[in-house]
Structure 1
Amino acid sequence: MSKLVIGLVQQACSADRDETVSRTIGGIRKAAAAGASLVVLQELHTGPYFCQTEESTVFDLAESIPGPSTELFGSLARELGLVIVTSLFERRAPGLYHNTAVVLEKDGSIAGKYRKMHIPDDPGYYEKFYFTPGDLGFEPIRTSVGALGVLVCWDQWYPEAARLMTLAGAEMLIYPTAIGWDPSDDREEQTRQLEAWVTIQRSHAVANGTPVVSVNRVGYEASPGGCGMGQKFWGNSFVAGPQGEMISRGGEEEEVVIAEIDRHRTEKVRRIWPFLRDRRIDAYGDIVKRYRD
C-alpha cells in the first residue's frame, strides 16, 4: 500500500461528554467517507482540558484500558474498517494515572498503547499533578497501516523522542495534542508560539525522513473556577512529509483535515539525505546527561 489517507479530527470539547464524543464520532465518519484508513484524534478528546487547575475530584474522569472509550471507538474502528488513534486519561491503579494514547486496529482490537513520557508543569498546564510519566518507552505500535510512532503533545518538543521512535522502526510520527494561547498574549507572541510549534515538528520530519501527523483541539476553554485566563486552543492540525513539506493543514476552527501520504517517499528521501547513516553514535554519550557543567 503506497498511498495512505489520514483523517485528523480537530474539534472543540465541552463538559458534556456525550455531546463531545458524538461530534468526535461524526468527525471519524466524515474522515472515513473521505477515504481515510487512519484517523487520529486530539489529546484527551472526550472532554475539556482539565489540567488548567489542580483538583483531586478530576481523577474521577479517568478510565481503565480496556474500558468504555476503547470499547466505543473499537466498535467504530471495526464498523468502518479503519485504524483509530485515541487519547485517554488512564486509571492504571488507585493513585496511578497516565495520559495515554491507545491505537485501535481495524478489527476493533487494541493494537497497542503509549503513555506520555514528557509531563509539563506550567501555568495552565499542571499535568504533573495528574499524570505519572510513561513507562512503556518509545516503541512504535504495529498496525495494518504501518508502524505508528505515537507520542503525545509535550513530547513533540523533544528531538530525542522522535529519533528513538524512528530508530525503533516508526514509519510516521503521530502527536495528539492540546496546546493553546494565553489570551493575554498579544498577537505577535501568539504567532511566534504557533510557528515554533509547527517548525519543531516539521524539523522532526526532516531529521528523521518520516511523515509527521499532529492534531490539536480548538476553541476557548475557561479556567475552572475562574482562577485563570483560560486557554484558546489554536488548532492548525497538519500533516508534513519526510522533507518537512506541508501536505495538509487546518485552521483555528473545527474541521476534519484530510491528507494523503506516499509511504514510499521515506525510502527515497533517506537515500538522498542519509542522516541515519551518518550519525556519530560513538560521540553521543553525553546526550544522557541533564547538562554538561
Structure 2
Amino acid sequence: MKLSLIQMSMSESLNKNCEKSLTFCDKAQGSNLVFFPEIQLYPFFPQYEGRDASKYCLKENAMEITDFCKKAAQYHYYLSPNVYMELIGKRYDTSLWINPKGKIVDYAKMVHIAQAKQFYEQDYYTPSDDGFKVFDTPHGKVGIVICYDRHLPESIRTCALMGAQLIIIPTANTKAEPMELFEWEIRVQAMQNQVFIAMCNRVGTEGSMVFSGESLVVAPDGSLICKADDNEQILSCEINLEEATKLREKVPYIATRRKEWYL
C-alpha cells in the first residue's frame, strides 16, 4: 500500500483551503490511501472559547465534500478528509471514509472531546454516537482515531481489537506541545498494539498557535518509518499491512490479554 499524508497549512478562506486540498489530491495520484490533518478546510477555530462556528460547519451535501469524492474516483484511491460537519442536527469533528469509486462509505467522529487552553473543543464538537470505525480495503483493515482520541490508549487498542492493521490519525499539534513525547506516544502504542500508525498534522501559524508538522508513520514494532519537518508537504511511504498480522502471530500481545482482570 502506498500511503500519503497531506501536511498542509490553512488560511481563513474555505475556497483557498479546498482548492489547496484538491491540488494535493492531484499530486498524490498513485497512492492507495490519502488523508489530511484535522479540520483541514478552516483555521483551527477551537483555539477560541465559545464562538459562533456556524460558518465553519459543512453539511453532507456540501460542494467541497462532492469535490473530494470526485478526486477519490478520479485517482481510484481511498480518501479521508477531516472536516467540521453537521450530521443529523449535531456537529462533529469528522473524518470521512471515501472509497476509490468516490462513494462515502461512512463517517468516523471524534470520540473523546478535549477542553483545555487553545483546545476548547467541547464548545463546538459533539462526542461520537457510534464509536470507532475500522474499514476493510484490499490492502488490509484501516482504523481512524482523531487527534485527542489518541491520548486515551483505549482508542488505539479498540481499533486494534476490531482488526485494524493501520490506524490513521488526523491531528492539530503545536510547537508549544511536547512533540518528542507525542512521537513516542505513537511509537509505543504502535508497538503495544502491533499496528501501523500514521499521524498527519497541520503546519503554519494561526492566531497564537504555531502548528508543528512532524507528521509520521510508525511500524507495528514501534520503529519510525518516515517523518516530516515543519514545512507543507506530502509525506508518502510504502507499507505492507500483512506485517502487522505476522507480528501479532509471532509475539501475541493481544492474544495473551486477560481482560477479566481489567477495569
Tell me the TM-score range normalised by the shorter chain: over 0.9
Q: Is the 8 A contact 1:103 1:112 kept in 2?
A: yes
In structure 1, the gaps of 5 or more residues are 183-189, 223-229, 287-293
Q: C-alpha deviations, 1:192-216, integer Å up to 9, x for none?
A: x001111111112111111001100
2:42 corresponds to: 47
Q: C-alpha deviations, 1:121-176, integer Å up to 9, x for none?
A: 11111000000111111231234443221010001112111111111111211100
SS at match of 2:184: helix
Q: Is the 8 A contact 1:216 1:236 kept in 2?
A: yes
Q: C-alpha deviations, 1:78-134, integer Å up to 9, x for none?
A: 01111101111111245x211111111000001211110011111111000000111
Offset of residue 271 of structure 1: 2.3
Indicate whether 1:140 and 2:125 are aligned: no
TM-score between both structures, scaled by the size of structure 1:
0.86
Note the 1:94-243 alignment, pairs <5 A: 94=89, 96-182=90-176, 193-222=178-207, 230-243=208-221
TM-score between both structures, scaled by the size of structure 2:
0.95
Indicate whether 1:8 and 2:2 are aligned: no
Offset of residue 270 of structure 1: 1.3
Cα distance between partner residues in 2 of 1:175 and 1:66: 24
Indicate whether 1:38 and 2:33 are aligned: yes
More helix by share: 1
Flag the 1:276–1:181 CA change in 2: closer, same or farther, 3 A.
Answer: same
Cα distance between partner residues in 2 of 1:282 and 1:81: 44
1:187 corresponds to: none
Q: C-alpha deviations, 1:224-253, integer Å up to 9, x for none?
A: xxxxxx111000011111101111110011
Identity among equivalent pairs (%)? 26
How large is the RMSD of aligned CA atoms in angstroms? 1.4
Q: C-alpha deviations, 1:51-89, integer Å up to 9, x for none?
A: 111344322221122433321100010011111011111
Cα distance between partner residues in 1 of 2:239 and 2:150: 20
2:15 corresponds to: 18
1:65 corresponds to: 60
In structure 2, the gaps of 5 or more residues are none
SS at match of 1:156: helix
Structure with max Cα Rg: 1
- Name segments (4+ residues, structure 1) moved above 4 Å: none
Cα distance between partner residues in 2 of 1:274 and 1:221: 44
Cα distance between partner residues in 1 of 2:197 and 2:3: 11
Cα distance between partner residues in 2 of 1:22 and 1:69: 9
Which amino acid letter does the alignment assign opposite residue 120 of structure 2?
Answer: Y
Cα distance between partner residues in 2 of 1:218 and 1:79: 27
Indicate whether 1:92 and 2:87 are aligned: yes
Which amino acid letter does the alignment assign opposite residue 181 of structure 2?
Answer: A
Q: Is the 8 A contact 1:112 1:141 kept in 2?
A: no
Which amino acid letter does the alignment assign opposite residue 10 of structure 2?
Answer: C
Cα distance between partner residues in 2 of 1:245 and 1:86: 26
